[in-house]
Amino acid sequence: MQPMHGLNELRAQNRMTWIEAEHGWGAAPEDVEDIVGALSKDGFDECKRETTTSRRDLSPAGGVWQGVNLGTGSVASAIWVNQPRQARVIVLIEIDGESLRDHAFSSFERDLYRDDGGES
pLDDT of residue 89: 93
pLDDT of residue 113: 42
Beta bridge partners of 25: 18, 91
What is residue 108's predicted lDDT score, i.e. its pLDDT?
41
Reported as a single tens digit per residue, the pLDDT across 38-49 is 999 999 999 999
Strand blocks (E) in 20-117: 24-27, 45-52, 62-68, 75-82, 89-95, 98-99
pLDDT at res. 111:
41
Amino acid identity at 27 = A
With helix as H, strand as E and coil as C, how does 43-57 read? CCEEEEEEEECCCCC
- 65 three-class SS: strand
The segments of the chain whose pLDDT lies below 70 read: 1-3, 54-59, 103-120
